[in-house]
Each structure stands twice: as C-alpha cells, then as structure tokens.
Amino acid sequence: MPESNKPKWVIAGLAAALCVVLLIVQAERGPAPQVQIVSVTREDLTASITGNGKVEPISPAVARAQFPTFVAAVQATEGQPVHKGQLILTLDAADVRAQLSQARADLLAAQTDLRNARAGGPPDEVAQLQGNLQNAETEVANLERTQQALTQLVTKGAATQDEVAQNQAALATARANLQTLQQKKAALAQRASVNVESASLRVKQQQDLVAALEEKVNSATVIAPADGTLYSLPVRKGDFVRLGDVLAETADLRHVRVRAFVDEPDLGSLAQNQGVQVLWDALPNRIWNGKVEQVPKQVVARGSRSVGEVLCSVDNNDIELLPNVNVEVRILVHEQRAVLVIPRGAVRYDQGQHFVLAYDGDAVHRRNIKVGVASADKYEVLSGLGPGDKVALPGDVDLRDGMKVRAAEAK
C-alpha cells in the first residue's frame, strides 16, 4: 500500500469508531419514557365516607314470654303484613288463670281484714262488746239510783242497812264488770289500730299480685300493637317457651334505620342531615337514600376497628331492606358543583405542599397547587392549575422535574 494513503485509512478508522461510540451512547440513552397524562376538567365532586352497617327497625314491637309455658296456637306467618289488633299467637295460660283466681280470693280476704281493722275489729265481736257495754252501763246506772234511794229510805226507817249493803255490793260488782268491758274495748281498738298497717300492706301485695297475673294472662294472647310487618316469628305451635323468650317482632318497615360503623379518623366530617346512600349485595342494582339522624357521642371497639356508630334513617317504601341485614353505607359529607378536578394519584406531597408534574408538550415540570374537597378518587383544585392543563400520572418511571417524556392519554 502506498505510504501516502496511510493517513486516510487512519482517519477513516477513527471516524468509524466515533460513529460506533455515538450509536452505542444513543442506544443506551434510548427514547424519552412514555407516561400517562390526564387533563384538568370541571366536574361535580362528591366526597363521601364509606362504611358498613346493619339495618334496624326504627320502632320495633317485641313480644316476649312473661311466663314459661307452651305455644297453644299460631295464627300468623312470618313476613306477612299485620294490622293493629290482629291475633298472632296464643300461649297456654291455664296455670296462670288458676293462680289469678286464687289471688283474687286472697285479695278479697285481705280487703275484709282491712275494713275490720279500720272499724275497730271484727263486726260481730265489736257489736257484742258494744251491747255488753251498754248493758253494763245501764246496770251500773240503775244500781247507783237504787243506792241513792235506799240511803234516803234508811234515814226515814223505810229500809234496812242490810239492803243498802247488798245493793252496794251489787253496784261494786257491776262497776268492776263495766271496767273490764271498757278495757276489752280499748284493747280491741288498739289491736285494730296495729292491724290497719299490716292489713293495708297485705291488700297492696295482693293487688300487685293480681295485676301481675292479669298482665300475664293478657300476654298469653299476642296481637299486633300497630300496622306493620311481622318480620320475626321464631316459635311454632307446641314449642315450649321460657321467661323472656322472643315470641314475635313487628314494625313499620317502610321506614328503617341503619346503624353505620364509621372508622374513627372519619368521624370529624360527620354532621346531622347529611345525605346517605345504602347498598345491599343481595340487590346490587338498588340504592336506598336517607340521612344522618344522630352522630356518635363515643367511639367503641368493633373487632380490630375503632368506630363510631352513626344512626341513619332510610326510606324503604318497597320494604326490600330487611331487618338485621349487613349493608354498605356511603355518607355524603361534601358536594361541589362544576369544580376543577384531577385524579388523586396525580397529586404529590412534599414538605407541607401539594404539587403535580405538569406536562408542557415534551417534558414535565413541578407545579405547586392547592387542593380542596377530596372524593374517593379525585381532588378539587383550588389554585395552581386551569382547565385543559395536563398532568402526569404515576407509573413505572420515576419522574423528575424537567424530565423529557412522551405523553399517552390515560384511559
């Protein structure tokens, strides 16, 4: 090879090597990463608290057994509508009725004892004693008059001292008999005065017993206290029921209450009359509306959670929600109309400041923003962004301020 051509080959080799290096560097750098972007839009934004809950009747009427016995007959069916006064079931009350008859007889006897005590004693004893007293008083009065007359006759010589002495002895005996009868009357009156209190107590005890037994007898006939639905009838004819066992439960199920269990961090957003939506897995296409009736006054433990129990009234005109079923509850705590919104995932937080990575055509840049109401998946934007601005969503690439990117519209 001629000596003059050697520099040309060297230069060509160096150029080729440089091209290879440039190609390798460019291959290592690759194209700009692709990120998903979304546009800032105006929407109605609803912020809600989601929790679980249980459906309850608002004013249930629960009939319980007031004495142990057997179910004599059942005249209704669980789930049926009932009207006020409609017979549901009856219990065997034969033993209680027998006890009631005896209690009424004992009450009459106690009332008689009380009347006698207030009258001073038994009527026949009082009447006999009163008659004896009157006779004794009459006898004493007659003997005293006779004694006075005999004394005067003695001075005239028309009577003897023996006659006076005999009358005096008879008078002393009559006076002693009168004193004894008076003492008996006083003792009888004293006993009667003491017996009034005890007799009154016995009358009161018997009256209470009669009233309690009458209530038991009446409870043996279970009727609907008001129009509604017989939503629970756990007994059948022939069943033995114990004291306190539930016999029937009725309520107006057109209006029910949901006891919602809300986690402690969300309790500060609750207020009365906030809108409520209730969802039940058994009817997935139905939503029941209501409102918050009572916010919790305390926090209680429920399993591993610390919750407040929120009472919500719910319209149930079709009587589709059943008592004691478990439901999902959404409490609408804020509702904003036509506000700027972005997905929650696009908002980042650093040292007390919310910010996004805004897309300007070929790169992303940090932009501080101020947020307002938050829903489950979106933030209200109060400042820092305008309608149509685009922001990047998080992905596999660790985005940084000023990074070149290729945009793909998020679906």
Instruction: Report DSSP letters for 279-323, one per residue.
Output: EETTEEEEEEEEEEEE--SS-EEETTEEEEEEEEEEE-TT--S-T
Strands 275-280 and 326-343: what pairing? Answer: antiparallel
Query: What integer is the mean pLDDT of 340-346?
Result: 91
CB under 8 Å to 374, separation ≥6 — which residues? 47, 344, 380
Work out the pLDDT band at 32, boundaries 50, 70, 90: confident
* 323 and 57 Cβ atoms separated by less than 8 Å: yes
Query: What integer is the mean pLDDT of 260-278?
Result: 91
Strands 255-263 and 41-57: what pairing? Answer: antiparallel
Dist. CA 111–CA 117, nearest whole Å: 10
- Tokens 């010589």 -> residue: 157
Q: What percent of the chain has pLDDT over 90?
A: 50
Dist. CA 373–CA 347, nearest whole Å: 13
pLDDT in tens, 72-115: 999 999 999 999 999 999 999 999 999 999 999 999 998 888 88
Query: What integer is the mean pLDDT of 347-361?
Result: 91
Dist. CA 265–CA 307, nearest whole Å: 9
Q: Can you give the residue ranges of every domain in the chain?
A: 31-58+252-411, 59-92+220-251, 93-213
**59-92+220-251: CATH number:** 2.40.50.100
**Lowest mean pLDDT, pick from 163-172, 191-200, 276-285:** 191-200
320 — phi, psi (to 5°)? -95, -35
Query: What integer is the mean pLDDT of 172-177?
Result: 84
* 402 and 365 Cβ atoms separated by less than 8 Å: yes
Whether the predicted pLDDT of 291 surpasses 90: yes
Whether the predicted pLDDT of 33 surpasses 80: yes
Dist. CA 160–CA 104, nearest whole Å: 68
Whether the predicted pLDDT of 12 surpasses 80: no
Work out the pLDDT band at 164, boundaries 50, 70, 90: confident
Work out the pLDDT band at 184, boundaries 50, 70, 90: confident
**Lowest mean pLDDT, pick from 35-39, 54-58, 134-138, 346-350:** 134-138
Work out the pLDDT band at 290, boundaries 50, 70, 90: very high
Per-residue pLDDT at 188: 64
Dist. CA 43–CA 54, nearest whole Å: 32
Work out the pLDDT band at 137, boundaries 50, 70, 90: confident
Q: What is the DSSP letter of 324?
A: T
Instruction: Report DSSP letters for 142-201, one per residue.
Output: HHHHHHHHHHHHHHHTSS-HHHHHHHHHHHHHHHHHHHHHHHHHHHHHHHHHHHHHHHHH
Dist. CA 34–CA 408, nearest whole Å: 7
* 347 and 369 Cβ atoms separated by less than 8 Å: yes
Dist. CA 330–CA 332, nearest whole Å: 6
Mean of pLDDT over the chain: 86
Q: Which residue has the higher pLDDT, 59 or 6?
A: 59
Dist. CA 277–CA 287, nearest whole Å: 6
Query: What integer is the mean pLDDT of 350-363?
Result: 91
Whether the predicted pLDDT of 391 surpasses 60: yes
Whether the predicted pLDDT of 13 surpasses 80: no
Query: What integer is the mean pLDDT of 148-156?
Result: 82
Domain pair 31-58+252-411 / 59-92+220-251, same fold: no
pLDDT in tens, 206-223: 999 999 999 999 999 999
**31-58+252-411: CATH number:** 2.40.30.170
Dist. CA 44–CA 335, nearest whole Å: 7
Whether the predicted pLDDT of 323 surpasses 60: yes
Work out the pLDDT band at 5, boundaries 50, 70, 90: low
